[in-house]
């Protein structure tokens, strides 16, 4: 099955939309196939503002109806306690609300952007998607991340080279309580890194402060700017270390 076949079978669909590489290409493919598509974005403390901005921009460019749910994950104890299967509870909450809105809007088929490169065994959130009967067309059609980037570039989508950007909760070690203050500290610091010219990185919370992870291509830049980074991060983290193991 290819995506054209998929949308011939499912011509009316709602999409849990993130504005990232995968869900953006899926939304584009749905429109190109003539599907009746509704994109739904769940906006919580776990998503940085630029992701919402990208989602709005993309939907405006391609005339995709977009509904935004303003939610809070920090009310969910099973999530903020940060167990090893946190993603299961988080995905269940988010896609449960997305599913309800989709049904209220007249859409009985719900999609997400999981692709064929994603390891199901490593992702507790996949269990929640299965339980909620969410379909993953990119995975069903065997499209890998590399292929999705290539196809996105060929289509001229501005999302084609966006770095993978996991939710902010992934920056906090398992077992450490997730708080709004900590999430905001990470988000502010990562925005500072964007402004300094970095493209693909993580600011991870640690007992001593923050651990900065960058790619091999940007490691020398991080070494050059480490003191500037420490000064910029000082309102949020007392100590900043550069991880010698690159992303």
Tens digit of each residue's pLDDT, the chain (247 residues): 899 999 999 999 999 999 999 999 999 999 999 999 999 999 999 999 999 999 999 999 999 999 999 999 999 999 999 999 999 999 999 999 999 999 999 999 999 999 998 876 667 788 999 999 999 999 999 999 999 999 999 999 999 999 888 899 999 999 999 999 999 999 999 999 999 999 999 999 999 999 999 999 999 999 999 999 999 999 999 999 999 999 8
Other beta carbons less than 10 A from residue 158's beta carbon: 12
Q: Are residues 98 and 193 located together in one domain of the fold?
A: no
Mean pLDDT computed over every residue of the chain:
95
Beta strand pairing call for 36-43 and 66-70: parallel
Q: Is residue 165 part of a domain?
A: no
DSSP 88-117: HHHHHHHHHHHHHHHHHTT---EE----TT
Range of the domain at 49: 3-155
Instruction: Kindly report the pTM of this predicted structure.
Output: 0.92
pLDDT tens readout for residues 54-77: 999 999 999 999 999 999 999 999
Q: Are residues 134 and 189 located together in one domain of the fold?
A: no
How many distinct structural domains can be found in the chain?
A: 2
């Amino acid at each position: 099955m290819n995506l054209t076949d998929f949308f011939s079978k499912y011509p009316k669909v709602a999409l849990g939309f993130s504005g990232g590489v995968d869900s953006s290409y899926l939304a584009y493919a749905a429109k190109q196939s003539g599907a009746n598509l509704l994109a739904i974005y769940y906006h919580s403390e776990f998503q940085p503002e630029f992701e919402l901005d990208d989602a709005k921009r993309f939907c405006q460019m391609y005339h995709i109806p977009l509904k935004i749910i303003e939610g809070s994950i920090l009310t969910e104890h099973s999530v903020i306690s940060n167990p090893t299967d946190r993603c299961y509870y988080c995905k269940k909450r988010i896609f449960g609300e997305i599913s309800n809105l989709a049904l209220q809007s007249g859409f009985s088929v719900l999609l997400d952007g999981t692709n064929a490169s994603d390891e199901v065994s490593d992702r507790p959130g996949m269990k929640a998607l299965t339980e909620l009967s969410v379909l993953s067309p990119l995975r069903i059609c065997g499209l890998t991340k590399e292929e999705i980037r290539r196809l996105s570039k060929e289509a001229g989508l501005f999302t084609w080279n966006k770095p993978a950007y996991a939710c902010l909760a992934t920056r906090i070690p398992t077992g450490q309580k997730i708080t709004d203050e900590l999430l905001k500290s990470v988000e502010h610091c990562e925005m500072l890194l964007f402004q300094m010219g970095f493209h693909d990185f993580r600011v991870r919370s640690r007992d001593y402060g923050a651990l900065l992870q960058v790619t091999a291509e940007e490691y020398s830049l991080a070494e050059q700017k480490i003191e500037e980074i420490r000064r910029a991060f000082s309102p949020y983290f007392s100590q900043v270390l550069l991880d010698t193991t690159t992303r």
